[in-house]
Amino acid sequence: MKAIALIEKLPLSDPNCFTEVEIAQPQPSPRDLLVRVEAISVNPVDYKVRQSYEPKSGVPKILGWDAAGVVVSVGTAVTRFKAGDEVYYAGDITRPGSNAEFQLVDERIVGRKPRSLSFAESAALPLTAITAWEALFERLNIDRHGLNQGQSLLIIGGAGGVGSIAIQLAKLAGLIVIATASRPETIAWCQQQGADHVIDHRQPLPAQLAALGHKEVHFIANFSNTDTYWKPMAEVIRPQGKIVSIVENSQPIEIGLLKSKSATFVWEFMFTRAMFQTPDMAAQGELLDAVAQLIANGKVRSTLTETLSPINAANLRAAHTRLESGRTIGKLVLAGWA
């Protein structure tokens, strides 16, 4: 089968950064699905893994943690899917990724592809939907059925992939959503996703929030930079409020700034369940099915903004370049094999 892999540690500017290779088609273990990949998306985790890649002789590294495709075969213990089913998923960072014609993925972290969406539209969703869902409803413990209605949520990084879907989910839960963006096009995008207010993350956040009448907020979801926004977050979180972040800190953070407010800080990492084979691993497949139902009901939409075709090394390198620029809006997808 065809795959796009890292063979050497080369800069992204090098045309040979990614290499198209032919490798053996994998065979499913008992809980696995073998999926024919129809579309993939890129996320910051892709370029972070690429940047830290250290070559192993003769072992290609296949990235990619967002895909939509068709089940080709199933393992002996699979109960939820059969050959021919259309699926979408983010996969497992400890296994070969989705930048290949075929991929193995544990059925427990797979959802049924939204019927009304194309493979490209569906591939834009899994990693960001799982991250946003877990951040809001599991880490911050926001009740998705409305028990926190009217409470305030600050989303730092509203126009990115995670922020885009988080705005939609938070509005469904009845929250007042204040998103951050800085360019006219990203401000407009956040508003299209349903944000009640948009403030500029390049300017001091406390003064902007106070001007909106939200000097303090109940919840903060930081999908941008933990180090940069740590002190502003500590300042604007309400007493007994909750903060979640998805970006690792590069410097020690002053956790003591939250003490007097008895505020909660928690990490969200969507690969945790698959990495550690947690007892509730199947929750990810279930939440992807729930997102698909929300799409079917017209309550959530894909955050796809651009599709590159076909899936090849040149287009994957272009996608990484665009993503690393920090100026993408929503999700960038690659679809169809040449």
pLDDT tens-digit map of 117-174: 999 999 999 999 999 999 999 999 999 999 999 999 999 999 999 999 999 999 999 9
| Predicted pLDDT at 48 | 94
Is residue 187 predicted with pLDDT exceeding 90? yes
| Predicted pLDDT at 68 | 98
pLDDT single digits (tens) 265-323: 999 999 999 999 999 999 999 999 999 999 999 999 999 999 999 999 999 999 999 99
In the chain, the domains with their CATH numbers are: 2-125+275-335 (3.90.180.10), 128-267 (3.40.50.720)
| Predicted pLDDT at 56 | 83
Is residue 240 predicted with pLDDT exceeding 80? yes
pTM of the predicted model as reported, rounded to 2 decimal places = 0.97
Do the beta carbons of residue 241 and residue 218 sit within 8 Å? yes
Is residue 76 predicted with pLDDT exceeding 80? yes
| Predicted pLDDT at 203 | 96
**What gap in Å lies between CA 37 and CA 105, rounded to an integer?**
11
Side-chain half-sphere CA neighbours of 95 within 13 A: 21
pLDDT single digits (tens) 15-74: 999 999 999 999 999 999 999 999 999 999 999 999 999 988 778 999 999 999 999 999
Structure tokens, 165: 């879907």
Residue partners of 246: CB distance under 8 A and separation at least 6: 131, 135, 162, 222, 223, 267, 268, 269
CA nearest neighbour of 28 among 86, 85, 83, 65: 83
Is residue 263 predicted with pLDDT exceeding 80? yes
Residue partners of 179: CB distance under 8 A and separation at least 6: 154, 155, 158, 159, 163, 167, 190, 193, 195, 197, 198, 199
Please compute the mean of the pLDDT values over residues 62-90 and round it to a whole number: 98
Residue partners of 271: CB distance under 8 A and separation at least 6: 65, 92, 93, 94
**What gap in Å lies between CA 182 and CA 198, rounded to an integer?**
9
Please compute the mean of the pLDDT values over residues 172-183 and round it to a whole number: 98
| Predicted pLDDT at 6 | 96
90 pLDDT tier (thresholds 50, 70, 90): very high
204 pLDDT tier (thresholds 50, 70, 90): very high
Phi–psi pair at 180, nearest 5 degrees: -110, 140
